[in-house]
Amino acid sequence: MSIASLSTIHRSQDRFAFYANDPPALAFDATLRSWIVFDPDLAVSVLKDRRFAAVDYRGANKALAEATGIPLDNSDHALAYVPIARDGATHLAQRKAIAARIAATQQLATVESAAAAEALAARLAEASEHDIMTDILVPMVNRVMSALVGIPIAPDEPASAMSRVFDRLLGVSRHREVDASIGEARARVRDAAGPDADESARGHLLSLWILGYDALIGTLGMSMAKLIERHDGEHLSAIPYPDTPPETGVPYVARIVGEDTVLAGKQLRRNDRLRVVLQASAYSADLSDHTRLFGAGAHSCLGKAISLAAWRALTTAISRVDRRVHWLETRLRPHDHLFLVLQSLRVETR
């Protein structure tokens, strides 16, 4: 694997061979002008280390708006309430607010996961072609996110792609589209929250929707694809479903080096960029490493319990389907450089 292709390895089918061949713990990618951490132990260490700061996504959005003259006000509003883009007291306050919302709605979201999984798995019991994304996972995640955010989301509403607001590799026209989508979601949050909800409460709901949707549907979709491709032609009821999703929709997180330091024998300079690859843990022979897919430290995934409940509800329901599953096609959603979300996962059950 050439060093030039490290920037896209998380999206490539070559990742299976790459991770199996003992990748470097830390490498520099000239295309990204960023260091990349591949070693799972080193990744956990970096995520827990305060010398490596969160990326100022809001600042980057403001700079893009100023440079292009295109207003990105909705994106700016959303990024003001995203805890992964903050450190210190602001991060703690935002994280606490979103965690409280998840705790208050988690039971309902779990019930919705189970109900949706049972109803939708019944479709796989029909001998036919299916798209697991549009037929199964989009309706399921819509129900879960509706419970979490408190906004009516129809089962057949197209999957959200608002997480692209974090993607610094998108073109200007795509950022304009993302800003418009966030504007529509912002209006829906405002209507659902009611006139008595303050701006920060609405902002935290919007943040949960933006972050949670693609993280959940990406993880479920990538995990199902990995299992079905690996067990092509087997009975759904015979597949050994792990308790933890074996893939992630959030393949990496970004950090900024806060001070000159040495990491894995490499000299890093203040303001160097660092890409911490969570995905590498999914390719470890030690299944306990898969829990690292949810991150570590102060910015670890707030939705871990929701994701695990959804995964277990989905696999429990599907494991009762006594049909052979035949993989037809896996296609990633285009124009994504950060989150991994499938556009389609086509299978046939017989």
pLDDT in tens, 192-235: 988 888 999 999 999 999 999 999 999 999 999 999 999 999 99
CA end-to-end span of the chain, whole Å? 38
> Residue 7: which pLDDT band, with cuts at 50, 70 and 90?
confident
> Residue 104: which pLDDT band, with cuts at 50, 70 and 90?
very high
**Which letter, b or e, does each residue of 15-35 get, where b requires 16 or more Cβ atoms within 10 Å of its Cβ?**
beebbeeebebbbebeebebb
Mean pLDDT of 129-142: 96
Taking the CB of residue 251, how many other CB atoms lie within 10 A of it?
A: 22
Of the chain, the percentage scoring pLDDT greater than 70 comes to: 97
> Residue 291: which pLDDT band, with cuts at 50, 70 and 90?
confident
CA 130 to chain centre: 23
> Residue 289: which pLDDT band, with cuts at 50, 70 and 90?
low
- With a cut of 70, say whether residue 288 has pLDDT above it: no
Mean pLDDT of the chain: 93
Given this model, what pLDDT does residue 94 score?
95
Q: How far is CA 50 from CA 251, 255, 257, 277, in A?
A: 21, 10, 9, 18
The whole-angstrom separation of Cα 49 and Cα 57 is: 20
The whole-angstrom separation of Cα 20 and Cα 24 is: 11
Give the dihedral sign, CA 115/119/125/130.
negative
Mean pLDDT of 22-42: 93
CA 298 to chain centre: 17
Long-range contacts of the stretch 2-8 (C-beta < 8 A, 24+) = 3/27, 3/28, 3/29, 3/30, 4/29, 4/30, 4/31, 6/31, 6/32, 6/36, 7/31, 7/32, 7/34, 7/36
The whole-angstrom separation of Cα 57 and Cα 211 is: 13
User: What single-letter amino acid sits at 327?
Assistant: W
Task: For tokens 């991060």, name the residue.
Answer: 91
Q: Catalogue the E-assigned strands of 23-88.
A: 26-29, 34-37, 52-54
- With a cut of 90, say whether residue 142 has pLDDT above it: yes
Indicate the SS3 state at residue 299: helix
> Residue 120: which pLDDT band, with cuts at 50, 70 and 90?
confident
161 burial class (0-12, 13-18, 19+ CB within 10 angstroms)?
A: buried
> Residue 3: which pLDDT band, with cuts at 50, 70 and 90?
very low
> Residue 243: which pLDDT band, with cuts at 50, 70 and 90?
very high
DSSP state of 170: S
Mean pLDDT of 314-335: 96
Mean pLDDT of 166-188: 93
- With a cut of 50, say whether residue 2 has pLDDT above it: no
Mean pLDDT of 2-22: 81
Q: Residue 286: CB partners within 8 Å, gap ≥ 6? A: none
> Pick from 312, 317, 302: which is nearest to 105 by CA?
302
Mean pLDDT of 327-339: 93
Given this model, what pLDDT does residue 18 score?
92
Mean pLDDT of 182-194: 94
Q: Is the pTM of this model over 0.75?
A: yes
Angle at 304 between CA 299 and CA 306, to 5 degrees: 140
**Which domains occur in the chain, in start order?**
3-349 (1.10.630.10)
- With a cut of 80, say whether residue 286 has pLDDT above it: no
Question: Worst-scoring range by mean pLDDT, 4-18, 36-50, 167-181?
Answer: 4-18
Q: How far is CA 281 from CA 2, 89, 187, 293, 295, in A?
A: 21, 30, 38, 6, 10
Given this model, what pLDDT does residue 6 score?
81
Angle at 163 between CA 341 and CA 156, to 5 degrees: 60
